[in-house]
Structure 1
């Protein structure tokens, strides 16, 4: 069953890679899934997040992009978009399944599986605080930032006892 708002996010494994959400306790984490790196809409979305990175960092929030693209594709994508936040290659699509964002598609007559363009906000306690299902790559980063500003002031890690 896919994670829902209110669920604690566990550490996860995809292929040989381990994503340790537990290491980010005490800070907000924005996890955005995207279908394919090096495509127009995915580049637009990632660049919008990159442009707002200092503001996310000011709110003690980390950014993480996830797709099932290969490591080589992700490296190229990071270079093209000049990203300063991590991308995770979900080669086995275990995270895509865990978060319930798998999309089955037919491309050039071939069945493919990839991530839907959706975003999750994980609280400093490691719980899914919000889930965006409808994502406009052009405006989404600003929308997430505004939500975080409105909901983070009472839970800032530097104010926690």
Structure 2
């Protein structure tokens, strides 16, 4: 099942660390999924979000990245990309399963299951207000920021 716009964004408590989006009620959340921590496009996407982090923070938004890499790989990725937002490991496919973003793929001639590059924008009440299924890692962070500004405009 894929989470749809209008759905309440679910917590995923049986992950390490738990994905407890409910703890951020009252704040916006950008939840982005990416396939592999050390792939060029994934690094680009994470760095673009980091570059715009002050603008997201000014709008009261938290950013969380999720990939199917291990926690150790995520820590290395965080250091390489110099990101300050949380990166979660979904090696057990729990988060991707709940959000419906898993796919079968062939990577380096090996069949694997991985996360699709997708993003969810979650409002302060915990409701998914945007879901991107087609993501250009080079421009996506700006696109998400623009959508956040549009959603914030009526509140200002």
TM class by smaller structure: over 0.9
Distance between the aligned counterparts of 1:32 and 1:20, measured in 2? Answer: 15
1:92 positional shift: 1.2
Give the match's secondary structure for 2:55: helix
TM-score by length of 1: 0.92
The answer for the alignment partner of 1:3 in structure 2 is 3
The answer for the alignment partner of 2:131 in structure 1 is 131
The answer for the alignment partner of 1:72 in structure 2 is 72
The answer for the alignment partner of 2:96 in structure 1 is 96
Residue 47 (structure 2) pairs with residue 34 (structure 1) = no
1:94 positional shift: 1.2
Q: Is this contact kept in 1: 2:16–2:89, CA < 8 A?
A: no
Please, which runs of 5 or more residues in structure 1 have no aligned partner?
157-161
Distance between the aligned counterparts of 2:15 and 2:24, measured in 1? Answer: 21
The answer for the alignment partner of 1:52 in structure 2 is 52
Residue 126 (structure 2) pairs with residue 112 (structure 1) = no
Q: Is this contact kept in 2: 1:14–1:93, CA < 8 A?
A: no
Q: Is this contact kept in 2: 1:15–1:91, CA < 8 A?
A: no
The answer for the alignment partner of 2:82 in structure 1 is 82
Supply the RMSD in Å over aligned alpha carbons.
Answer: 1.3
Distance between the aligned counterparts of 2:68 and 2:107, measured in 1? Answer: 15
Aligned residues: 156
Please, which runs of 5 or more residues in structure 2 have no aligned partner?
none
The answer for the alignment partner of 2:140 in structure 1 is 140
TM-score by length of 2: 0.95
Distance between the aligned counterparts of 1:131 and 1:46, measured in 2? Answer: 18
